[in-house]
A and B are shown apart, each in its own frame.
Chain A
Amino acid sequence: MSGIAISGGQLWLLVALLSVAALGLKVLGFVIVGGRETPPMLQRCLALIPASLLAALIAKDTLTTAQALAFDARLVGLAVAAVAVWRRLPFVVVIVLATVSTAVVRALV
């Protein structure tokens, strides 16, 4: 968690923008479009967005530091998390195992 590039004021701006956008999208779907048919192709595209973005976020948080590729203790944490998810352990257990294994590797290496 190095090199935060924005100020506290900019962070508040982000909080405000994101809050407006998140509620806006909910209201657009629930109140404005509501129940009407949307094109199946559009639905399929929208349904796939989380798959692409979540995978990209995993890659970013495990393999990169700022604009450089980095291979470090986080890889071990993700591998442990993958096993934990595969074993269907609860969310919090997955997080704890990932962070503890990362911390241990970091302390040892």
Chain B
Amino acid sequence: MKMTLGSRLLGSRDPDSKRVIVAGLTLGAAVGVMALPFGLTAVSSGASVWQACALSLFTFTGASQFSAMSVVGAGGSVGAAFGGAALLAVRNFVYGVALASRIGNDDSGQKRSLGHRLVAAHFVIDETTAMATAESQPRLVRLAFWVTSISLFVSWNVGTLIGAVAGSVLDAQMLGLDAAFPAAFLSMLVPHLRTRSGRLAAVTGAVVCVAATPFVPVGIPILMAVVGVLFGVRR
């Protein structure tokens, strides 16, 4: 009997599992398309195709990758590019704390093996956290996490490779690709603007960054912008 990939994945499963699998694969496809601008802009900022791919494989956290390449492209140092990107990656720590017991334990509450948990940790990012925490049944929480993880990991890396290869033959400045960075950051910023403290932190961060730009090395204003957190948190 001939089976398509779709029926092999979904054939014998219950409706809830099907829904979770379809959602995870759909999100993966969307994220694969998001990876194209990352590959393009990384290469036009000075990275090689392999460096862009290594970032997606081993860093695997979009906002930090975009941030590092944006600072490098503007002429920043390794330290400045690293600092801002690492600060952006701190939220994965927060997600990890929240997900640990739900993904790292089995049904009886026993911890999975260390190897299992280390692999899972690499996949703890915005999208997988959102998909996992949207479910309530433990079985579906884990299914959502793993389907989203694998589908995103594959699509993000394939997308990066395609984007990077394209970027190495295109004229970035002429195509306006430098505007892809702020547009990407804007899309990522919008969910943080829902609260008043988020808006205060954002405005302060932007003002500090622009004000500091003429006086400190490239990339350092991004690090200084973190004081915006103090303005936001007082609210």
Contacts and interface: CB of A to CB of B under 8 A. Distances in A.
A85 B94 contact: no
A109 interface: no
Contacts of A67: 213-214, 217-218
Contact of B84 (A11, A44, A53, A64): A53
A31 B179 contact: no
Contacts of B59: 15, 18-19, 22-23
Contacts of B208: 56
B104 to A, nearest CB: 6
A16 B72 CA distance: 15
B51 A46 contact: no
A29 B198 CA distance: 23
A62 B74 CA distance: 11
Given A77-B176, A95-B180, A34 B104 contact: yes
Given A1-B172, A33-B96, A18 B209 contact: no
Contacts of A8: 48, 51
Given A33-B96, A52-B226, A94 B183 contact: yes
Contacts of B19: none
Contacts of A60: 70, 74, 209-210, 213, 221-222
The contact size tier of chain A is 35 or more
A29 B96 CA distance: 4
Contacts of A48: 192, 197-198, 201, 228-229, 232-233
Nearest to A12: B51
A107 to B, nearest CB: 8
DSSP majority for the B interface?
helix
Contacts of B187: 81, 85, 91, 94-95
B232 A81 contact: no
B192 A50 contact: yes
A14 B44 CA distance: 17
B101 A35 contact: yes
Interface string A67-109: 1110001100110011011000011101101111111101100
A4 B182 contact: no
Contact of A103 (B51, B176, B213, B221): B176
Interface string A40-71: 01011111111111111111111111111100
Interface in B99-134: 99-101, 103-104, 114, 117-118, 120-122, 124
A61 B182 contact: yes
A8 to B, nearest CB: 7
Nearest to A92: B33
Given A15-B55, A60-B213, A84-B183, 7 more contacts: A3-B74, A23-B121, A49-B91, A55-B205, A55-B228, A58-B189, A60-B70
